[in-house]
Amino acid sequence: MGFGQIPLLKTIPGSAVPASLVLAISLIAGAWAFDGVRAQESAAPIRLVLPEHPTAEDLRAAYSGAPETWPAPVLRDGAAFTELGPLPPAPAPADNPTTPEKVALGQRLFDDPRLSASGQIACASCHARELGFADGLRTSFGHDRRRGRRNSPSVAASGHMPVLFWDGRSDTLEAQSLHPIVDPLEMAGALPEIEARIAAEPSYAEDFRKAFGDETVTIDRIAKALASFQRNLRPGQVRWRRFIDGQRSALNDQQLRGLHLFRTKAACASCHSGPVFSDGKFHNLGLTFYGREREDLGRYEVTGLARDVGAFRTPSLLSTSRTGPWMHNGLFPSLEGIVRFYNAGGAHPRPTAAQEHDPLFPRTDPMLQPLNLTEEEIDDLVAFLETL
């Protein structure tokens, strides 16, 4: 077992001592047994160890404390795990501190179709509040009703992501906010024209003055306001937020079993961890369609590195039940389908004879392995995901 973990003892057969009291006794015993170790490793949390088949009472007791005391996650090799926790305010860069005035201007711009060439498409067209700041489509429609090749991810937690877009082409919200405006498949705008159009609207003058000190409209200020609005967004007031903020009764027994599976047998926490439920990294799930009509090379298009072919950024799972369909191409219309996909170990395409020696042929991330979840466990895991 090692230091830093203590077993959550089962109630002694025939005894009336509840598991919660046994847990308390275990904690006291652990404190005594590891007192000398704590003097040297005071920062190391003590994690509880559950029996192989924990009861609802066991789980309720094990997850009653701070996340640092929860049973240790089961992680795949190469995982970069950060413990789950409440979502803090999104950090802002020094040259663009978040203010209420900038957020208000950014919200108005986010909803304004004048940022598009046609004057008919706004940022909110693909990131609707009612749909968790996604759009509910497999892939989005843009300028001239042309369909893009990727799913519109929710932007509700974008202020917490280290890189933006499925392929990570932007590392700041300020840079990200301008990409859709000029993308020919999205808003198809030209930045000088957009700047002039917003400047020509008299009602914007006061908004820019409040946000930036004077009425001057620039693309840089438009980007900063849009970024400030997105940093101010937070996923909805849901069961998970209440649970992680300390209301441990917010999850029912099935959802709590799902949380435990998420962290252990299903190994979801290998990629979906931290307050935002994402490692911010890129993984190949085998859904590249390499050499086929729907081919998408993912991160490779940004880096040019063979190892990045077919790799896409891990999305946040906050508000995930509202933001389907899922994956970079919107392939899955249900959360159950996604869980079954991972339960099977993901997709592992095999090269054709012509592709056998192709150095760019994508390789599925070795983290994806069959999970052997039962039907009940699949239902439990879906139930937990829905709390997010």
Tokens of 64: 């009653």
Q: Which has the closest alpha carbon to 19: 27, 29, 28, 9?
A: 9
Distance CA 81, CA 279 (A): 7
> Which residues are CB-neighbours of 315 under 8 A, at least 6 positions away?
153, 154, 278
Identify the band that residue 49 occupies on the pLDDT scale cut at 50, 70 and 90: confident
Q: Over the chain, what is the mean pLDDT?
A: 90
Token pair 């012509």: residue: 354
Cis? peptide before 54, omega within 30° of 0: no
- Cβ neighbours, 10 Å, residue 265: 15
Strand partners, 201: none
d(CA 318, CA 336): 17
pLDDT digits (tens, 9 = 90+) for 360-386: 999 999 999 999 999 999 999 999 999
Centroid of chain to Cα 234: 12
In one-letter notation, the amino acid at residue 183 is D
% of the chain with per-residue pLDDT over 90: 85
Instruction: Give, to the nearest 10 degrees, the angle between helix 204-212 and helix 219-231.
Output: 70
pLDDT exceeds cutoff 80 at 33: no
Q: Which two tokens stand for residue 258?
A: 């799902």
Token pair 């996340």 in the structure block, residue: 67
Q: Which of 24, 19, 12 lies closest to 59, judged by CA?
A: 19
Tokens in use for 362? 């994508």
Q: Is the pLDDT of residue 9 over 80?
A: no
Return the pLDDT at 232: 96
pTM for this entry: 0.87
Fold for 100-231, please state it.
Cytochrome Bc1 Complex; Chain D, domain 2 (1.10.760)
Identify the weakest region by mean pLDDT among 24-28, 54-58, 88-92, 159-163: 24-28
Instruction: Give the contacts of 65 (CB within 8 A, at least 6 positions apart).
Output: 48
The tokens for 326 are 């899922």
Whether the predicted pLDDT of 39 surpasses 80: no
Q: What is 260-387's CATH topology?
A: Cytochrome Bc1 Complex; Chain D, domain 2 (1.10.760)
pLDDT in tens, 315-325: 999 999 999 99
> Could you give the 3-state DSSP secondary structure of residue 387?
helix
Cβ neighbours of 17 (radius 10 Å): 11
Domain boundaries, the chain: 1-72, 100-231, 260-387
In this structure, the number of other CB atoms found within 10 A of the CB of residue 25 comes to 12
| Per-residue pLDDT at 236 | 75
**pLDDT digits 0-9 by tens, 201-214:** 999 999 999 999 99
The strand ranges marked E within the chain are: 5-7, 47-49, 282-283, 312-313
**Distance of alpha carbon 210 from the chain centroid:** 33
- Report DSSP state, residue 11: P
Neighbours of 295 (CB within 10 A): 14
- Kindly report which listed range (8-17, 40-49, 65-74) carries the lowest average pLDDT score: 8-17
- β-strand partners of 128: 134
* Strand 282-283 with 312-313, pairing: antiparallel
Segment 140-146 shows an average pLDDT of: 93
pLDDT band at 237 (very low <50, low <70, confident <90, very high): low
Say if CB 285 and CB 346 are below 8 A apart: yes
